[in-house]
Structure 1
Amino acid sequence: MKPSNSHRPSIRRRAPRGTDLWRALVDPDQNPSARTRVFSDLLLAYPGRLTIIYFIMLVVIATVLLTLPVSSRSPGSTDPLTAFYTAVSALSTCGIPIVNSTEHWSVFGQCVILVSVQLGGLGVMTFASLIMLATARHLRASQRLRTANELGASALGETRDVLAVVFATTFIIEGITFAALFPGLFSINRGDWGQTAWEALFYAVSAYNNTGFTPDAAGLHVNNPAVGLPILLSAFCGTLGFPVLLNLARACRRRIPPRRWQLHTKLTLVTTFALVLCSLLWYVAVEWNNPRLYADADLGVKLQAALSAAVMPRSAGFDLSWVPELSDPTRVFMSMLMFIGGGSSSTAGGIRVTTLAVLVLTCRAALTGHGDVTAFRRRLPMRVVMMAVSVTLIFALLTFAASLALMFVTGKPLSDVLFEACSALSLGGYSVGVANAQEPATLVILALLMIAGRIGPTSVVYAISRPHATEAMRYPEESIIVG
């Protein structure tokens, strides 16, 4: 007679601990699949903490390397604060420079910056994917499968497959960008193969990771269409996020019509193109006849500048020369664009375009008297709406506090400090001169903003605690008056 289910001992799977990871790596008698499972469980159990540890370790290593005399072209070592700020700016993929990259840093120093940019971009996308998988563990089965499909994994335990998708997407796009940049840079460098290869590699990595660091002093080559257009397209792909790129690739391969694309892809593309169109119209209407910019330029140069200004400011800070010449209204408008940023699980920063879309859809539902937030005949979960509101509020408070602090320290007007704060927190990479190597307090404030913007509030939440599937107790409901 078989025992009934009620008499069977209950087996609860405990969360992995740090000793489990050590045992999985050093125990030779353990099954390889078991080691992989323990390592995967550890990554999904504490992705937020691993994000913070990963970023801090890289900042320390990059700072030490940049302070070495071999990293600088001038005799002696670089100031520790300058090295720290540059390391944070590179690893956060923000790219606000305080020294001329070509004149100050040696080839070794530029290599440290380039590797930091690559590791920063890969780390952010990787841990963002792990956080999505960790979140999906607490969802229904249908939602789990949908999340796994978005991340390129057939099962939620396939962490290795997710990481492979992230790395493959990154290196394929960077390789295509490198190949597209090589002919134009080869012509500019007058047949210098070594210099061309180095600049093409640097631009390819910086463009996809939406970082403003450039190998040619001020990024002047981006004004050349043969160089600027590949950089523009690569930076645009970087702002979409690899889940969107993966979904689009699958849709093209399987000939899936747009109406059957994933909701995340639809919202990202619609919001992104709407922001680009609004930016283009704003630049044409407000800055078209700005005498300090392109007073004697022809129509083609103006259109290229307008397109670059419509795409780049949300995350990629290439070519800083024209930013100080903008009018104050355009600086405030660009601050808003940088605050929004790019797509989720991308190299861009900001509150993300899908967060903006959720906020707009929530306002529409509230004003039309609907209880559900819907888009493209799909209902958004309440946890998504709550996360969108929380992220926006946190970013707004950080921007406000940092702007006040910068005004006290520098004495500059609100439009300048707001622009710089949004650029640092949202990893825009542009600057109007607030970041100054002669003002240590300013560098510390901006570095902290870049760290906060790169790690993000979601990682901090998952570092403190993991969400639970259900509430242990629900209190009675009572309405209040708002608005």
Structure 2
Amino acid sequence: MGLSGRRAALGSAVLDRFQHPAQVIVGGFGLAVLVGAGLLALPVATESGESAGPLTALFTATSAVCVTGLVVVDTGEHWSVFGEVVILLLIQAGGLGIMTLATLFAVLVSGKLGLRARLLAQAETKTLHGAGMRRVVRNVVLFSLVSEVIVAVVLSLRFAFGYGEPVGRAVYMGVFHAVSAFNNAGFGLWPDSLSRFVADPWVCLPVAAAVIVGGLGFPVVFELARSWRRPRRWSVLTRITLGTTAALLLVGTVVLASAERDNPHTLGPLSDSAKLLAGFFAAVMARTAGFNSIDISQMRPESWLFTDILMFIGGGSAGTAGGIKVTTFGLLAFVMWAELRGEDRVNVGHRRLAGPVQRQALTIALMGVGLVAVCTLVLLSMVPHSLDRVLFEVVSAFGTVGLSTGITGQLPDAGQVVIALLMFIGRIGPLTLFSALALRERTRRYELPEERPIVG
């Protein structure tokens, strides 16, 4: 066999291997978790010089790789600088891995389309060939690093000149929180997260901006960079992502600021401007970031429930955010609106949504609801905490958010295992499920007789 024949055989083998994207995603993230857990289990990773224990190391590594932020020990006090750097690298690997894998599998899915659809997609994205894919991955990495550097510079300057931190310490804290924010991880170096900066816009706004940009998703960000002056040319993905994100941020800010405005344990003591800032920050962080500038455990039940909704929806597709994604939520809203109007087609702007896309969105949403319900029931049988606190914890883990009412560290070992598995499933689940559904799409060559059962 000649050189060209061997290359062709190798390429065929690689393509055959990538026929099962779930194996690649689960294997890659699982390996990263195990390596991270092994490093965090070393005595050098803790401040005390004693091993953190396998379960604590595994839980923390899972939370970092899945960019969640739920912890069973205080990050800044329990882990040494070595341990914190390991966590930071796991967050970076998890965030970049999510975006690049999402982009790669988008191309893999497009390869299963018909010739006409593939040509249209290639003309639109210019990323369906080898050189284009290398450019996309390079741009993902550069965009992530540049965004993190900008936020890190702002935070470092604020910590150094606004709070008198030594330059080295200020830079370290700025870099750590910038990486954690852009990747929607929510790991912080203070026991109260960012509560001490609740009224400081120079800390809260850069962190919130990093969370929003990282959570929009790479395809949306770069489409905006190319054609931000021509909104009529925006794809359905960009339209839904931006519209739904803006609506959720606005509604979230109003609802949370209103519900907590006179709560003496959260927003009550703050000025009006600080209340607005804290309400906006809380709405942004519920989009899967995990930082908090107010005490989550002291929030009112109605605020917990609304935060549950925001956490479950999550952020944009092919970004660092979790949840079922705003795209899924927005698509289902358009489907429902079309049904209420009695229309047999679902249109978004000047585009018609394909039937398979609607079914995929419904499947992801319902499977998310089922997973949250089952895990909530399991945890309720293990712990003495109330339903609203347990549900909050479960939704936070599924949406890879990291917000907590304070019960994570109180969970028994079995409960921590459940939460760790839920974080892992919540991180890889939507991407794996979407890839599997799209790649299994096939055309039936016959139609069965139609019947309309009673619905409702």
Which of the five TM-score ranges fits, normalised by the shorter chain?
over 0.9
Q: Does 1:454 align with 2:427?
A: yes
Residues 423-457 of structure 1 deviation map (CA, whole Å, 9 limit, x = unaligned): 00011110012212561111011101101101114
Q: 1:162 aligns with which of 136, 154, 175?
A: 136
Task: Answer yes or no: is the 8 Å Cα contact 2:360–2:437 preserved in 1.
Answer: no
Aligned pairs (5 A) from 1:234-253: 234-252=210-228
Aligned pairs (5 A) from 1:32-51: 41=15, 44-51=18-25
Task: Answer yes or no: is the 8 Å Cα contact 2:47–2:77 preserved in 1.
Answer: yes
Between the aligned partners of 1:106 and 1:306, the Cα distance in structure 2 is 33
Between the aligned partners of 2:169 and 2:16, the Cα distance in structure 1 is 43
Between the aligned partners of 2:441 and 2:275, the Cα distance in structure 1 is 53
Q: Does 1:134 align with 2:100?
A: no
Between the aligned partners of 2:223 and 2:201, the Cα distance in structure 1 is 29
Question: What secondary structure sits across from 2:409 in the alignment?
Answer: coil
Q: 1:333 aligns with which of 293, 306, 317?
A: 306
Q: 1:207: which partner in 2?
A: 181
**Which range is displaced more, 88-97 or 216-225?**
216-225
Q: 1:90 aligns with which of 21, 41, 64?
A: 64
**Which range is displaced more, 162-171 or 326-335?**
162-171
- Residues 1:211 and 1:145: Cα distance change in structure 2 (over 3 Å): farther
Q: 1:373 aligns with which of 332, 336, 346?
A: 346
Which amino acid in structure 2 is aligned with residue 89 of structure 1? S
Q: Does 1:112 align with 2:86?
A: yes
Aligned pairs (5 A) from 1:24-423: 41=15, 44-145=18-119, 147-148=121-122, 153=127, 155=129, 158-188=132-162, 190=164, 192-220=166-194, 222-223=197-198, 224-252=200-228, 256-319=229-292, 321-423=294-396
Residues 233-272 of structure 1 deviation map (CA, whole Å, 9 limit, x = unaligned): 01011111011100011114xxx42122112101100011
CA apart distance, 1:274: 0.7
Q: Which runs of 5+ in 1 are unaligned?
A: 1-26
Between the aligned partners of 2:399 and 2:408, the Cα distance in structure 1 is 15
CA apart distance, 1:29: 5.4
Between the aligned partners of 1:360 and 1:460, the Cα distance in structure 2 is 20
Q: Give percent identity, aligned residues only.
A: 35
- Residues 1:458 and 1:206: Cα distance change in structure 2 (over 3 Å): closer
**Which range is displaced more, 470-479 or 436-445?**
470-479
Between the aligned partners of 1:158 and 1:240, the Cα distance in structure 2 is 21
Aligned length: 454
CA apart distance, 1:387: 0.5
- Residues 1:481 and 1:173: Cα distance change in structure 2 (over 3 Å): same
Q: Does 1:439 align with 2:412?
A: yes
Specify the structure having the higher radius of gyration (Cα): 1
Task: Answer yes or no: is the 8 Å Cα contact 1:361–1:374 preserved in 2.
Answer: yes
**Which range is displaced more, 141-150 or 440-449?**
141-150
CA apart distance, 1:210: 0.5
Between the aligned partners of 1:314 and 1:471, the Cα distance in structure 2 is 39
- Residues 1:475 and 1:281: Cα distance change in structure 2 (over 3 Å): same
CA apart distance, 1:103: 0.8
Between the aligned partners of 1:170 and 1:393, the Cα distance in structure 2 is 32
Between the aligned partners of 2:234 and 2:135, the Cα distance in structure 1 is 21
- Residues 1:264 and 1:250: Cα distance change in structure 2 (over 3 Å): same
- Residues 1:474 and 1:49: Cα distance change in structure 2 (over 3 Å): farther
**Which range is displaced more, 257-266 or 317-326?**
317-326
Task: Answer yes or no: is the 8 Å Cα contact 2:18–2:24 preserved in 1.
Answer: no
Which amino acid in structure 2 is aligned with residue 62 of structure 1? G
Between the aligned partners of 2:2 and 2:201, the Cα distance in structure 1 is 56
CA apart distance, 1:366: 1.3
Residues 71-116 of structure 1 deviation map (CA, whole Å, 9 limit, x = unaligned): 0111321111011000000010001111111110000000110000
CA apart distance, 1:148: 4.4
Question: What secondary structure sits across from 1:48 in the alignment?
Answer: helix
Task: Answer yes or no: is the 8 Å Cα contact 1:52–1:455 preserved in 2.
Answer: yes
Between the aligned partners of 1:32 and 1:265, the Cα distance in structure 2 is 41
Question: What secondary structure sits across from 1:436 in the alignment?
Answer: helix
Question: What secondary structure sits across from 1:96 in the alignment?
Answer: coil
Residues 273-313 of structure 1 deviation map (CA, whole Å, 9 limit, x = unaligned): 11111111112321111122133321221111011012111
- Residues 1:374 and 1:460: Cα distance change in structure 2 (over 3 Å): closer
Task: Answer yes or no: is the 8 Å Cα contact 1:94–1:427 preserved in 2.
Answer: yes
Q: Which runs of 5+ in 2 are unaligned?
A: none
